[in-house]
Amino acid sequence: MPVIKYPRIRDPLFYEWDRKAQKCGLRHTVYAVNGDQYTGEWLDNLKHGKGTQIWKSTGAIYSGDWKFGKRDGYGSYSVPDPVTKEYRKVYTGWWENNRRGGRGAFFYPNGERYEGEWSNGLRSGWGKMCYKDGSIFEGEWLMDQPNGQGVLQLPNGNRYEGGWKDGKKHGPGKYFYSDKGQLLEGVWVADIPKCGALVDFGRDDAPAATEFPLPEIGLHNPAGVLGEARAMFDDSHN
């Protein structure tokens, strides 16, 4: 009986070509149509793992963790200086879903610096901001603005401790005039003190103390008055 040989069934060639074209594992530099380049790990044709991306249009570089095509994990982002062409670090820290998320440090072009928590690319949580004029704010942030409790330290030694809202002093707080040796304790609304008590505080060691000390407050219970003011403030904002 004759032996019949059937042709071996093979997948079409384009299946094999497509399989070879899929990027998975460690790869050398891959260039995009727009000139961007990526060197690193892949998974299912997506950047995944450790890798470095260079954007041709801006020259910016990201080096760090990737997850399914997005920056996710720990990484550093730098841009070239327009004059010197040397790279300047912009952000180093944690990323979530292609945005700054978690703890990280951001370096501004004017020399200012923020170190703290981020959410959806914005300063949110606890953080410390060092401003160009020498001021330092440390406290709570929300949607890129001081919100909650925080301390602002000024270059001349004065400082404010208390509540903040939308980047402004808001709520019960204390303002220490270290240069004059005085303390203002009261309630602020949109950066303006609405009520409070001003007393001498460390006046003997103040570099620019007033000529005469402040007279004592003519109230039997100034702390109680401030407490009532705080209570009225809280009631009006509930």
Q: What is the pLDDT of residues 7-63, one digit of tens each?
A: 565 655 544 544 554 566 666 789 999 999 999 999 988 999 999 999 999 999 999
pLDDT for the residue 155: 95
Phi, psi of 209, rounded to the nearest 5 degrees: -65, 150
Question: What's 131's domain CATH number?
Answer: 2.20.110.10
pLDDT for the residue 75: 98
pLDDT for the residue 209: 64
Instruction: Identify whether 83 is part of a domain.
Output: no
Cα 195 to chain centroid distance, Å, stands at 33
pLDDT for the residue 117: 98
Predicted confidence (pLDDT) per residue in 115-146, tens digit: 999 999 999 999 999 999 999 999 999 999 99
Instruction: Identify whether 9 is part of a domain.
Output: no
What is the span of the domain harbouring residue 112?
Answer: 108-215
Write down the mean pLDDT value for the chain: 85
pLDDT for the residue 200: 78
Higher-confidence position of 8 and 162: 162
Strands of 178-238, DSSP E: 182-189, 192-200
Instruction: Identify whether 66 is part of a domain.
Output: no
Instruction: Identify whether 96 is part of a domain.
Output: no
Predicted confidence (pLDDT) per residue in 94-115, tens digit: 999 999 999 999 999 999 999 9
Residue 195 one-letter amino acid: C
pLDDT for the residue 10: 64
Instruction: Identify whether 30 is part of a domain.
Output: no
Instruction: Identify whether 80 is part of a domain.
Output: no
How large is the average pLDDT for residues 206-219?
A: 60
Task: For residue 1, list its beta bridge partners.
Answer: none
Instruction: Identify whether 114 is part of a domain.
Output: yes
Give the chain's domain count.
1
Nearest Cα to 92, choosing from 128, 124, 118, 120? 118
Percent of the chain's residues with pLDDT above 70: 73
User: Are the CB atoms for 23 and 45 separated by under 8 Å?
Assistant: yes
Query: Which residues, 6+ apart, have CB-to-CB distance to 53 below 8 Å?
Result: 36, 37, 38, 47, 61, 62, 63
Instruction: Identify whether 232 is part of a domain.
Output: no
Higher-confidence position of 229 and 180: 180
